[in-house]
Amino acid sequence: MSVSLAIPEKVALITGGSRGIGAATVHLFVAAGAKVVFNYRSAKSQAEALVKECGAQNCLAVACDLNSPESAVPLVEAAVQRFGRLDILVNNAAITRDGLALRMKAEDWDAVLRTNLTGAHLCAQQALSLMMRARYGRIINVTSVVAETGNAGQVNYVAAKAGVIGLTRALAVEVASRNITVNAVAPGFVVSPMTDPLSQTVKDALLARIPLGRMGSDAEIAAAIVFLASEEAGYITGAVLDVNGGLRMG
């Protein structure tokens, strides 16, 4: 995989990195010259394969579930122990527990909020303890187009992802004086295990709403994340970069 932007000698932590957008981001960061630590929850074989592809000297996989509030501490510690520092955090880990609002179980609401929003906050909190002292950092939070448009049957997911946008902007204001930028990437509909089960009828309806007429790829989302982590993006903070084929404009 070729890349024009370079982030040599930087150390990145990517949550939810074993597959999909996370795995594509791991690949692209390593290609750009960074060292990467990523976590996985259950996809051990995929995580091990990714480390092998990227090289164990460049990449470390850590098993942990961000549904647990204690998981952020050892995850950040693993990055420091292995590579000596932490420069970049990509909050990508997310789960879904879809259902209509009227019937949504409390545990499904709580699980999605804990992983998708509280997990991002706790990882940022731990990363910032290092970045503030270093007076340098890049935090990129992965949100979603549905955080901006809404989506039936996903009140928990949409609320969490909208919260990620608020988290991004609040943190950006708090830490800008320490040369730390905080931005978000909002993917549209991407070819992934989450969209594969959709019927062709549903997919056709989605494509009809996308001006570019296709779904995005994991690599296209990863490229936006790497850009926001680069020096070239050093004057961007508090922004939400929409990567959605024109599904939402403005």
**Residues annotated catalytic, as ranges:** 157
Q: Which residue has the tokens 């998708």?
A: 116
Please give the sequence-ordered ranges of beta strands (E in DSSP) within the chain, or none if there are none.
Answer: 11-14, 35-40, 59-63, 88-91, 137-142, 180-187, 240-243
CA dihedral 11, 14, 17, 23 (to 10 degrees): -60
Rg of the chain over all Cα atoms, to the nearest angstrom: 17
Strand, coil or helix: 62: strand
Tokens representing 122 are 């706790």
Cα 71 from Cα 77, distance rounded (Å): 10
Cα 126 from Cα 70, distance rounded (Å): 11
CA angle 87, 88, 93 (to 5 degrees): 145
Cα 115 from Cα 73, distance rounded (Å): 15
